[in-house]
Amino acid sequence: MKREVAMNPAYAHPCRHRAFWVVIVALLVVLAASLALNLAAVETLSGSARPVFDDRGEDEFPQFAETHSCGAGTSKVVRIWFAGVLTRELDGGWLGTVDPVEDCLRQIRAARQDPAVAGILLEVDSPGGEVTAADEIHRELTLFKASRADRKLVVLVHDLAASGGYYISMPADRIVAQPTALIGSIGVIMQTLNVQGLSEKIGVTDTTIKSGKNKDLLNPFHAVDPEQVALLQESVDALHDRFVELVAAGRALKKSEVRPLADGRLFTADEALRHKLIDDIGYWDEAFATLADLLGEEDLYVVTYQVERTFLEQLLGVRAPLPGLRALLSAAATPRRLYLWRP
């Protein structure tokens, strides 16, 4: 009688197991090669957007890859966009930090240093933000205008140019606002909370060791001191006066004409035009035509700068979000002077 021997399935087909591991190893090799190629491509793209020129720093002499936006003219114009709150570097979560102000400053600086650039079309949609952030952008735009007499700047207001958003528009040769835009809110605000009553109810006390009586201005655990409020009001008033002076200079108005409008209110596009806070009401086409006319051209060659992305942004194809009002207000525990529209 013939005897049948049962074989262990694990040893029945050794070639199958060998083939399985060969496939796994091959897949891992392909994956590693793909990752290496992607990393090399990212590095190449990053390097091409940021060439090194001797000992000149990239912040002082920023370099961007350019994308042709529109137009077929011979006069080169840079299209720069600022949307959101004017604030410095904030945490963008797992995508890293974001600094929309620095991004904007570097683009303006690059345009100023490019002899081929004849103008900037700045698109604004902002409720304002930090006083210094707004002033930095205003200064950089002023430097662009002063770098060459024939250079022109046009601002296009999309939805909102309020407070600091209007402040940065002041160096413009012309301001065009879309029909539904809101403009103005000329003023300064500083706000904080006082929790003295609440802290007393829940039994929380504050111990502050300071070198002078005004070192803890507006300490939220202490009663509001009218003398300290007066000191801060002087600072706010000084910044408000500066704002009024810049509007008067930028819009060719007398300060006496600006002050009645500088109580923080917003204006519709029609009202802003009537008060000479803007020059025209229109869309992109009108802003484009306005800049072309200022440059004495029938057509323009408009480019945009490719703003550098972090590795994760390039890998995932997303951009860290611009910080909003909530992020700005939660970023600091102390009162801040703001050119900001607060609804």
Global confidence as pTM: 0.76
Greater model confidence, 307 or 210: 210
Phi and psi angles of residue 75, each rounded to the nearest 5 degrees, phi first: -90, 120
With a pLDDT cut of 90, the percent of the chain lying above it is 53
261 secondary structure, DSSP code: G
Among all chains, which residue has been given the structure tokens 């060791």? 209
Domains (ranges, CATH) in the chain? 61-189+262-340 (3.90.226.10)
User: Which positions are catalytic?
Assistant: 163, 215
284-297: pLDDT as tens digits: 999 999 999 999 99
The three-point CA angle 203-209-211 to 5° equals: 150
CB 176 within 8 A of CB 142: no
Instruction: Label the pairing between strands 97-98 and 90-91.
Output: antiparallel
Amino acid identity of 138?
H
77-117: pLDDT as tens digits: 999 999 988 988 665 555 556 788 999 999 999 999 999 99
DSSP string, 206-240: -----SSTTTTTT-TTS---HHHHHHHHHHHHHHH
The neighbouring-strand residues paired with 266 are 184
- Reference 302, options 74, 44, 14, 125; nearest CA is 74
Which residues have CB under 8 Å from 202's CB, separation 6+? none
The neighbouring-strand residues paired with 80 are 122
